[in-house]
A and B are shown apart, each in its own frame.
Chain A
Amino acid sequence: MAAPTLDAVLTGLAQDEATGSLRVGKEGTVYYVRGRVSYVECAATPGVEELLGASGRISANGMRHARQEAGPGGDGGALLVDRGVLSRGELEFCVLSATLDAAFFLLTSRTVRTRFRESDAHWLGVHWFFDVPGLLRECARRRARLERAWPSAELDARPVTPLRRIPGTHALLTRLQWELLLSADSTATPVELARRLGRPAYSTLLAVRELAAAGLVVTGETAALPKRTPKPSAQQPTPPREPGRSTSELPQVNGDATDVNLLLRLRDALEAL
């Protein structure tokens, strides 16, 4: 008998009104409270701890202390709110954001090795609920949103490389796109950049696809372009362009004899067709 899919396992736990944690391979964990999902963690995406740490609200040490103090089955989130690290609204949004981000990556996992631990709870406590069908629907909606922004997954796992020069004269950037372009070093992938910046991985992926659509990062298409344009020869450098002159990619007319020869050869070739 084939192993049940991850979706089927998730739906089954919801129907059983389970409370506890479901480990999905080594990739992450889904926390349930009475059949509803209260939190999702994924190794690839920053969790609430990392998001809060990167925002400078709390140190890694402060977070560790809070976690110890909350203890198993405690409400670490409430503790953080009491300490004034963040407001209740921010905590809820943080949990919601991190959960959907993790779910987006975890639920595409091909791992079917899952292990359920009865009544295991996340140290942050319960601050938002998701029903399983709603969570799956939202993941599908986010995938469709990515496709609308730029219908190719080619950049999702590749290092982000900004173009050295942009094709137009102006570019409009969002804050996240700006941060991404500053941090992109041609070695880090979108998900790695997300971790570095303390931003949700999905938002980063979306921003990279939007940058690709705006023609501001190197894509397979733009990377192939330089090969097609001939390199200027070493002994005959092209004269610097005067400002204000057309910067179109048409070849320059210079009355060089080789050009005439090329034209003759072209004409011959065309006639031979």
Chain B
Amino acid sequence: MIGIEDCLTEAMSIPGALGAILVDHTSGMAVAGKGIADPGRAAAGLSEAYRATLDGIAMASQETGFRIEDVIVTTGSAYHLVRPMEMMFDGPLLLCVRLDVERSNLALARRRLRTITDELVAS
């Protein structure tokens, strides 16, 4: 079982990880970050991106009450992985990792991210 700081350390140990940040989606607040230049801005941006994804998929999807497993955005130089964790009374809490596109393996990174989030909210 791990805490919030360990969870970021674990995320940064994913091969190719450049930065990791935990974002409280409801308030758009940066809970903690590693390797992120401006956590406040990053948190606000990632939170908005996740909200837009949620709304867009909700409109496009036939299923009601769907859940997002993760969001993957590929830019020229990086992968941005966003994994939501449902907390018991609020949230979700988003674990966001930026990975070097040349040095990372997307499938492996997704699996590692899932393991980390399962350990953080394990019970």
Chain B CB within 8 A of A203 CB: yes
- Report how far A97 CA is from B92 CA in the complex, Å: 12
- Report how far A97 CA is from B87 CA in the complex, Å: 11
Chain B CB within 8 A of A44 CB: no
- Report how far A203 CA is from B24 CA in the complex, Å: 11
| CB <8 Å contact, B122 and A51 | no
| CB <8 Å contact, B123 and A86 | yes
Which of A55, A88, A206 is within 8 Å of B2, CB to CB? A88
Instruction: Please classify the interface of chain A as helix (H, G, I), strand (E, B), loop, or mixed, using the class held by over half of its residues.
Output: helix
Interface magnitude class on chain A = 20 to 34
- Report how far A96 CA is from B24 CA in the complex, Å: 10
Question: Do A93 and B93 contact each other (CB < 8 Å), given the known contacts A87-B122, A88-B2?
Answer: yes
Chain A CB within 8 A of B28 CB: yes
B residues less than 8 Å from A86 (CB atoms): 88, 123
Which of B2, B27, B89 is within 8 Å of A51, CB to CB? B89
Give 1 or 0 for each of B74-118: 1 = CB within 8 Å of chain A CB.
Answer: 000000000000011110010000000000000000000000000
Question: Do A199 and B123 contact each other (CB < 8 Å), given the known contacts A97-B24, A100-B27, A172-B59?
Answer: no
B residues less than 8 Å from A145 (CB atoms): 27-28
- Report how far A52 CA is from B88 CA in the complex, Å: 8
| CB <8 Å contact, B89 and A55 | yes
| CB <8 Å contact, B88 and A55 | yes
| CB <8 Å contact, B1 and A87 | yes
| CB <8 Å contact, A57 and B1 | no
Give 1 or 0 for each of B1-31: 1 = CB within 8 Å of chain A CB.
Answer: 1111001000000000000000010111101
Interface magnitude class on chain B = 20 to 34
Chain A CB within 8 A of B49 CB: no
B residues less than 8 Å from A52 (CB atoms): 88
Name the CB-closest residue of B to A104.
Answer: B27
| CB <8 Å contact, A203 and B3 | no
| CB <8 Å contact, A87 and B123 | yes
- Report how far A81 CA is from B2 CA in the complex, Å: 11
Q: Chain A nearest CB: distance from B95 CB in Å?
A: 10
Which of B24, B59, B89, B121 is within 8 Å of A89, CB to CB? B121
Name the CB-closest residue of B to A206.
Answer: B26
Question: Do A200 and B123 contact each other (CB < 8 Å), given the known contacts A88-B1, A145-B27?
Answer: no
Chain B CB within 8 A of A39 CB: no
| CB <8 Å contact, B90 and A89 | no
A residues less than 8 Å from B93 (CB atoms): 93
8 A Cβ contacts from A91-117 to B: 92-94, 96-97, 100
A residues less than 8 Å from B2 (CB atoms): 88-89
A residues less than 8 Å from B28 (CB atoms): 145
Q: Chain B nearest CB: distance from A221 CB in Å?
A: 24
Considering residues A87, A93, A199, which has the most beta carbons from chain B within 10 angstroms of its beta carbon? A93
Give 1 or 0 for each of A217-256: 1 = CB within 8 Å of chain B CB.
Answer: 0000000000000000000000000000000000000000
Which of B26, B31, B120 is within 8 Å of A203, CB to CB? B26
Q: Chain B nearest CB: distance from A84 CB in Å?
A: 6
If A94-B89, A142-B29 are given as contacts, then 12 extra A-B residue pairs at C-beta distance below 8 Å, sorted by A number, are: A81-B1, A89-B2, A89-B7, A90-B121, A92-B3, A97-B89, A97-B90, A145-B27, A198-B89, A202-B26, A206-B26, A206-B27
Chain A positions near chain B (C-beta within 8 angstroms): 51-52, 54-55, 57, 81, 84-90, 92-94, 96-97, 100, 128, 138, 141-142, 145, 172, 176, 198-200, 202-203, 206
Q: Give me 13 A-to-B residue pairs in the complex whose CB atoms sit less than 8 angstroms apart, sorted by A's number.
A: A51-B88, A54-B89, A57-B88, A57-B123, A84-B123, A86-B123, A89-B1, A89-B4, A92-B3, A172-B55, A172-B58, A172-B59, A202-B26
